[in-house]
Amino acid sequence: MASEEIEVNVLTLNCWGLGGGISKDRVERMQREYLAAQDYDIVLLQEVWKRSDFETIRSLVASVLPYHHFFDNGIIGTGTCIFSKTRINDVTFHHFGLNGYPHRITHGDWFGVFLTAQDIYIGHRVVHGVESAQWIKLSSSSADLTLYAGDFNNEPKDVPYQIVKYVTPLLDAWVEGNGNEGGETNETPGNSYTPRSALRDSPDGKRIDYILYMPGPNIDAETVSCVLPLPSRVPGKSFSYSDHEAVAAKLLIRRRKQARYLETSIRDYVRCNSILKELDTKREVVKKAKDILHTSIRNVDISDFADFIFRHYV
């Protein structure tokens, strides 16, 4: 960091940009100028499946977020992209080892990215959590600030989220700024695309979109604010910006000054107690993950997959 203290403004949004008429009002929603009128430093978008939609967004935000990257990997792309106020020096793409089942064509996960949250994929989602945690730990050791944000397709109570949060460990901007309540981002009652049937089990919706972060060596970071910034409707329209809500966080990061011996000792003592608690939580989460994986392996329907191979390739 050039200065001792700076604020970083981050936004993430699942744009629900499936083509073929699946995502309603897609073209109009992508043409909205909301981002161009804000002051975000980093914007992380998911489900921008059409290159034309990416180009539309890029042209709209060019004056405020001039740097960008579209992750056009895989057979049908990833649907993810990033926009930044400052230069992006390098990018990489990590392909998960498990991405659904190839014989379940209609789910699309094998050919794209893992998006579904159906129970038959719980083992896959746990593996994704483990891979993500490992990737973050390996790639972020020298960074001043690590951000891990987007649509995770699982809630805070779910093991995949807990694996990423506690094994890494990462801070959840919403929890740090608002506590454990609220923050629902999908199938919310105020969203125009939420079916009434979805509200029976979850009247307030589900929190599955996140901004997680972790300060680097000799860096302190805290959440100044974390909000769901989008209005319930696109101005002048009857529909929402997406079937998900956006999440925006303002983070304050500062470089630690050389502390006196007593201050260092107190900080180390507090940190030591915190680490012990984190270890207990981590052990519990890892045990749950192992149990899920063992169950998933036992329940894999090999005959279903074999039948698919026989019918299509033999």
Q: List CB contacts of 119: < 8 A, sequence separation 6 or more.
A: none
- State which H helix or E strand residue 56 sits in: helix 51-61
User: Cβ atoms within 10 A of the Cβ of 130, count?
Assistant: 18
Pairing of strands 145-151, 171-172: unpaired
* 124 counts as catalytic: no
Residue in 107, 124, 128, 244 annotated catalytic: 244
> Which residue(s) pair with 254 in the sheet?
5, 220
* Rounded-to-10 torsion of CA 102, 71, 11, 40: 180
Return d(Cα 303, Cα 296) in angstroms, integer: 15
- Check: CB of residue 152 under 8 Å from CB of residue 113: no
Closest of 223, 229, 221, 181 to residue 205, by C-alpha:
181
Q: Which residues does the annotation mark as catalytic?
A: 244
